[in-house]
């Protein structure tokens, strides 16, 4: 039986001082998910922990069957026209490419070409690689921190 691999990617920006709404305004991009500092981590549970940071998330928009390199390239294209805004945000925010990768049998690899890594560095983005054990694609993959 063939091994089913999956991958996902998102641009994730967090901050203790800049609101998720302000991040959207500065970048001119609407997020797929956003959470404001001080909001409940579980809105249905009034006793849940409150978020310590605002969180802004924009996913690559590609399916989990696409190669990790494709997710990264899509996110680099999205961020590329916003280098100055990202640089300004980096003073008060953590900027990350949050990447997930897994396979059913626990084996596998991916390649991120040097030119793509150079572009990520030029954008000032840190890379977080979340390697997942064998099993189905997690529902929370690359959505929340």
Q: How far apart, in Å, do the first and last CA atoms of the chain sit?
A: 33
On whether residue 140 sits in a domain, the answer given is no
On whether residue 144 sits in a domain, the answer given is no
On whether residue 123 sits in a domain, the answer given is yes
On whether residue 63 sits in a domain, the answer given is yes
On whether residue 122 sits in a domain, the answer given is yes
Q: How far is it, in rounded angstroms, from Cα 7 to Cα 145?
A: 17
Q: How far is it, in rounded angstroms, from Cα 21 to Cα 139?
A: 25
Q: Kindly tell me if the per-residue pLDDT of 122 is higher than 90.
A: yes
Rg (CA), the chain: 16
Domain count, the chain: 1
Q: How far is it, in rounded angstroms, from Cα 116 to Cα 75?
A: 11
On whether residue 79 sits in a domain, the answer given is yes
Q: How far is it, in rounded angstroms, from Cα 30 to Cα 112?
A: 27
Instruction: Tell me the pLDDT tens digit for each residue of 71-121.
Output: 999 999 999 989 999 999 999 999 999 999 887 766 677 888 999 999 999
Domain containing 54 equals 5-41+49-132
Q: pTM of this prediction?
A: 0.85
Instruction: Tell me the pLDDT tens digit for each residue of 9-48.
Output: 999 999 999 999 999 999 999 999 999 999 999 989 999 9
On whether residue 24 sits in a domain, the answer given is yes
């Amino acid at each position: 039986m063939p091994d089913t691999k999956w991958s996902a990617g998102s641009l994730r920006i967090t901050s203790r001082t800049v609101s998720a709404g302000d991040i959207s305004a500065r970048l001119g991009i609407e997020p797929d998910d956003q959470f404001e500092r001080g909001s409940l981590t579980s809105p249905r549970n009034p006793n849940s922990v409150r978020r310590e940071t605002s969180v802004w998330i924009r996913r690559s928009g590609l399916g989990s069957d696409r190669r990790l390199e494709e997710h990264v390239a899509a996110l680099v294209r999205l961020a590329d026209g916003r280098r100055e805004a990202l640089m300004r945000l980096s003073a008060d925010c953590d900027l990350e490419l949050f990447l997930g990768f897994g396979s059913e049998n626990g084996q596998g690899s991916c390649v991120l070409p040097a030119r793509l890594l150079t572009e990520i560095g030029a954008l000032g983005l840190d890379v977080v690689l979340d390697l997942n054990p064998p099993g189905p694609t997690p529902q929370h993959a690359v959505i929340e921190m």
